[in-house]
């Protein structure tokens, strides 16, 4: 049994492009119905990826992160800090 699905015209265009790209790159031809089914299966198998949002850091976590040293390998003389931060005044 089939049914119709309403979608925005932009999404329909994206589906068309995806369908064409799959055909061009793999030589496999999928109907849009098959392609939507595959995308739904992918969404179900990657459900955690779709729903898990990064947790907000607490203030203490941010402070710990900002306190970590960053080693870039660049040696800067203390007398050059102002020039680097605020621009050369010379």
Q: Is residue 22 part of a domain?
A: yes
Average pLDDT of the segment spanning 48-76:
85
**What Cα–Cα distance (Å) separates residue 64 from each residue in 67, 69, 78?**
5, 10, 24
Q: Is residue 80 part of a domain?
A: no
Q: Is residue 2 part of a domain?
A: no
Residue 57 has pLDDT above 90, yes or no: no
Q: Is residue 37 part of a domain?
A: yes
Question: How many domains is the chain partitioned into structurally?
Answer: 1
Q: Is residue 43 part of a domain?
A: yes
Q: Is residue 86 part of a domain?
A: no
Print the domain residue range for 39.
9-51
Instruction: Give the three-state DSSP class for 86.
Output: helix
- Measure the CA–CA gap between 44 and 38, rounded to whole angstroms: 10
**pTM for the model:** 0.52
Q: How many CA atoms lie within 13 A of 57 on its CB side?
A: 8
């Amino acid at each position: 049994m089939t049914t119709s699905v309403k979608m925005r015209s932009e999404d329909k265009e994206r589906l068309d492009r995806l369908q064409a790209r799959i055909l061009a790159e793999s030589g496999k031809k999928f109907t849009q119905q098959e392609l939507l089914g595959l995308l739904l299966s992918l969404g179900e198998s990657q459900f955690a990826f779709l729903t898990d949002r990064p947790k907000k850091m607490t203030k203490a976590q941010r402070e710990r992160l900002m306190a970590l040293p960053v080693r870039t390998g660049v040696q800067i003389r203390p007398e050059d800090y102002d020039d680097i931060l605020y621009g050369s005044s010379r």
